[in-house]
Amino acid sequence: MAKRLLSQLYIQLLIAIALGILVGRFFPHFAAALKPLGDIFIKLIKMLLAPIIFCTVAVGIARMRNIKEVGRVGVKALIYFEVVSALALVIGLVVVNLVRPGHGMNIDAATLDSRALAAYTAAAQKQGALDFLMNIIPTSAVGAFTEGNMLQIILFSILFGIALSRLGERTMPFVRMMDTFLHGMFGIVRMVMYLAPLAAFGAMAFTIGKYGLHTLAAYGRLMSGVYLTSLVFIVFVLGFIARLCRISLWSLVKYFKDELLITFGTCSTEAVLPQMMAKLETLGCEPTLVGLVLPAGYTFNAAGTSIYLTMAAIFVAQATNTPLTLTDQLLVLGVLLLTSKGSAGVAGAGFVTLAATLSTMGGKIPVAGLVLLLGVDSFLNEARAVTNLIGNGVATVAIARWEGAFDEARAQQALGGETSPLSPRT
């Protein structure tokens, strides 16, 4: 019995995360050197993302008869993403005003050393709406793959798939070859997944070892507020959406338990993108729709990040005793609806977005106040990443159901454990 339990990936991940916390707590200097364990795993997965996304989207579109479906799915997905992101921002705004995590800190913004923010504020200046739109178009097709920009890869994949579709039956041998290549990529994913527990251990040990558990106590109210808000959003908003789709949110969470634990341990949703795509296809979502919606959701549907951004911005105002009217707070919310999309794919995206947002506020909230978040940010990554992952899983199911591209019978089989979870449908 014990041997069978230990063979389950989620059990291995739970043990690895627990060991990482212990090593980080009692051997902080050693733990701080374990960061490469998580980085190597994420790099291995990122190595596979471009070909998997490209083949999934291009093969799916090449086999479609009605190309208009692609545009319709894209429009519906963007509408869904904006509505859900707005809800996440509003919920975050309400909770941060109720919990008031920064109240009583009485920080003088003039005394803060903002030099540590230089890299983030510099990046924020380059993340305007026009820059974001221009960045969707790759400089070259090869560049999209070498840089790993998801939106660029999706754009090229859609155009290539449409071109293949218009050429008709003569392209089918090539399409089948691409499909075989895709199965090979998922074979590599299965091999890389053996390293997931080691990656979770290293990443968790590094976080605890570098920042220390004392940081949790110092920022307890902010952390508990973000985690509580994320839980409320998942249970009530995503739970309601899942119920409309006639599927249990709890069943989905259990179905994605391995991916959720990897994401919690590594703080990276990209680390599980291939597995999520395969599992959603196994769940009964049409493969082409999965290839379009899920990667796009990583950019446009970051509900967990939206919650964090709202709460962090207001937290800085509270901590520095910066008075904000309701109009000011609504302005923050409105700006975040735009800037949260412009930082996708940027290292330290949360700080880039916050810096860009606060800079547009005309000095109402001091940008230097972001220094207060540097220590605790790593501990909030888990809540953001897990919420984003669940949100994108639910979004893909919802849009597939909306499009009539969801196989309910297959979903029941998958949730009951009757089908293999890591092999793409053909």
92: CB partners within 8 A, 6+ apart: 229, 306, 307, 308, 309, 310, 311
- Encode pLDDT of 22-55 as tens digits: 998 888 889 888 888 888 888 888 888 888 888 8
Look at residue 218 and tell me whether its pLDDT is greater than 70.
no
pLDDT above 60 for 101:
yes
Q: Give residue 401's pLDDT.
A: 92
**Regarding predicted confidence, which is higher, 287 or 147?**
287
Residues 420, 215: Cα–Cα separation, whole Å: 41
pLDDT at 117: 52
Q: Which domains does the chain have, with CATH numbers?
A: 8-415 (1.10.3860.10)
Long-range contacts of 234-237 (CB under 8 A, 24+ apart): 234/387, 234/390, 234/391, 237/84, 237/87, 237/88, 237/91, 237/303
| pLDDT for the residue numbered 209 | 85
Residue 95, pLDDT > 80, answer yes
Does residue 233 or residue 50 have the better pLDDT?
A: 233
Query: What pLDDT sits at residue 347?
Result: 42
With H, G, I as helix, E, B as strand and everything else as coil, classify residue 231: helix
Task: Determine the pLDDT at residue 127.
Answer: 54
Q: Between 36 and 346, whose confidence is greater?
A: 36
Extract the tokens encoding 415: 């949730």
Token output for 330:
């609504």
pTM of structure: 0.79
pLDDT of 351 strictly over 80: no
Percent of the chain exceeding pLDDT 70 equals 83
Give per-residue burial for 150-184: e unless 16+ CB within 10 Å, then b.
Answer: bbbbbbbbbebbbebbeeeeebeeebeebbeebee
- According to the per-residue pLDDT averaged within each range, which of 107-111, 259-263, 329-333 is highest? 259-263
> Do residues 57 and 288 make contact, with C-beta atoms less than 8 angstroms apart?
yes
Average pLDDT over residues 213-223: 74
Q: What CA–CA distance (Å, rounded) separates 213 from 339?
A: 32
Answer whether residue 121 shows pLDDT above 60: no
Q: Which of 124-133, 334-343, 395-404 has the highest mean pLDDT?
A: 395-404
- pLDDT of res. 345: 41
pLDDT greater than 90 at residue 87? yes
Average pLDDT over residues 350-375: 72
User: How much is the mean pLDDT over the chain?
Assistant: 81
**Residue 32 to residue 205: CA distance in whole angstroms:** 7
Among 340, 339, 335, residue whose Cα is nearest residue 361: 335
Q: Which residues pair with 285 in a beta bridge?
A: 406
- List, as own/partner pairs, every contact residues 153-159 make where C-beta atoms lie below 8 angstroms and the sequence separation is at least 24, other chains included: 153/49, 153/50, 153/53, 153/54, 153/295, 154/53, 154/57, 154/292, 154/295, 154/296, 156/54, 157/53, 157/54, 157/56, 157/57, 157/58, 157/61, 157/291, 158/57, 158/58, 158/61, 158/70, 158/292
